[in-house]
Amino acid sequence: MIVWVLFLCAALSVVTTVAIVLSLVPPTIEFFGEVSIGEFLTGTKWSPLFANPRFGVLPLVAGTAVTTVCALAVCVPIGLGSAVYLSEYARPRTRRVLKPLLELLAGIPTVVYGYFALEVVSPIVQTIWPFGDPPGAFNALSAGIVMGVMIVPTVGSLSEDAMTAVPAGLREGAYALGSTRREVATRVVVPAALSGIAASFVLAISRAVGETMIVLIAAGGQPNLAINPGEAMQTMTAFIGAAGIGDQPTGSTGYKTIFAVGSLLFVATFVMNLLSIRIVRRFREVYE
């Protein structure tokens, strides 16, 4: 009985994924029966809920990409640096204190991060903006920076766990050959834990792509096809959050756009998860 209960627990995630796909596919097929796939994937104007609707999703893809890049620029160096420190430099007592504090960032509600980006980070960005006119209060850079801070525990904790799992004999052998602590960390531990570190990066990308509240509050909600992070933008998740509040009649084309964008987001995260699996298998080190 216990084995069957455990099997059902493991199968629940598969059933949930199948249910999500089944809920997305029919409205998406109906949407593409009314709007061509070419217009959806290559169009540069997105205004599906207005009188003269346009269904080009590229502005949402661009907004998602810009905020994700900004988030990665923050979370990758800080997360990896904190992981290296906790694994190779921190004393056990310091590690016991700092790691829970680092992981505490993951427990803060994302809506709080959103207003923090709007009220604190955005004014700072406006003050130090070095290129021409400063951005407005709503901009992709502020949302991306705060989103990166939110994802730091994902990169830091998973990378630190991967480094800690590296056998102590590798470190001891490197020290016996006269390596410094920096050389052991960068040339022995990090390469040995590369599969786990790479998986944490891909998971961070998936987390950034799927974030909703921060970008909904702080990024501006304007579907602009641009790469300037100082502009207001709208991501795929922000559109779903804004359009899914019940204003669109069920069965309308505007309502079905939610499922079309959701399907595109699902496919993007699915591809990233497949990439993560391949990376882990490619760089995995097996120790006896």
For residue 71, give its domain range.
26-31+58-221+229-283
pTM higher than 0.85: yes
72 lies in a domain?
yes
158 lies in a domain?
yes
pLDDT tens by residue, 69-123:
999 999 999 999 999 999 889 888 888 888 888 888 888 899 999 999 999 999 9
The model's confidence at residue 224, banded by pLDDT at 50, 70 and 90, is: confident
12 lies in a domain?
no
The pLDDT of residue 66 is above 90? yes
Burial readout 171-192 (b: 16 or more C-beta within 10 A, e: otherwise): beebeeeebeeeebbeebbbeb
42 lies in a domain?
no
The model's confidence at residue 288, banded by pLDDT at 50, 70 and 90, is: low
Q: What is the pLDDT of residue 226?
A: 84
45 lies in a domain?
no
The model's confidence at residue 286, banded by pLDDT at 50, 70 and 90, is: low
Q: What is the pLDDT of residue 247?
A: 66
Rounded to whole angstroms, how far apart are CA atoms 139 and 2?
52
Q: What is the pLDDT of residue 11?
A: 92
- How many CA atoms, within 13 angstroms, populate the side-chain half-sphere of residue 88? 27
Q: What is the pLDDT of residue 82?
A: 92
Q: What is the pLDDT of residue 113?
A: 93
Q: What is the pLDDT of residue 245?
A: 73
pLDDT tens by residue, 122-165:
999 999 888 878 888 899 999 999 999 999 998 998 899 889 88
CATH number of 185's domain: 1.10.3720.10
In this structure, are residues 60 and 47 in contact, taking their beta carbons and an 8 Å threshold? Answer: no
pLDDT tens by residue, 202-221:
888 888 998 889 999 998 88
pLDDT tens by residue, 17-51:
899 889 899 999 999 988 889 889 888 888 887 77
Which comes out higher in pLDDT, residue 273 or 12?
12
205 lies in a domain?
yes
1 lies in a domain?
no
Residue 66 Ramachandran class (φ > 0 left, ψ -120 to 50 alpha, else beta): alpha
**Residue 170 is encoded by which pair of tokens?**
């590798």
The pLDDT of residue 285 is above 70? no
15 lies in a domain?
no
In this structure, are residues 261 and 238 in contact, taking their beta carbons and an 8 Å threshold? Answer: no
Q: What is the pLDDT of residue 100?
A: 86
pLDDT tens by residue, 225-257:
888 898 899 999 999 888 877 666 777 888 889
Average the pLDDT over 167-174 and give the result: 89
The total domain count for the chain is 1
The pLDDT of residue 282 is above 90? no
Question: Comparing C-alpha atoms, which of 267, 224, 207, 262 is closest to residue 58?
Answer: 224
Position of tokens 């949930």?
A: 16
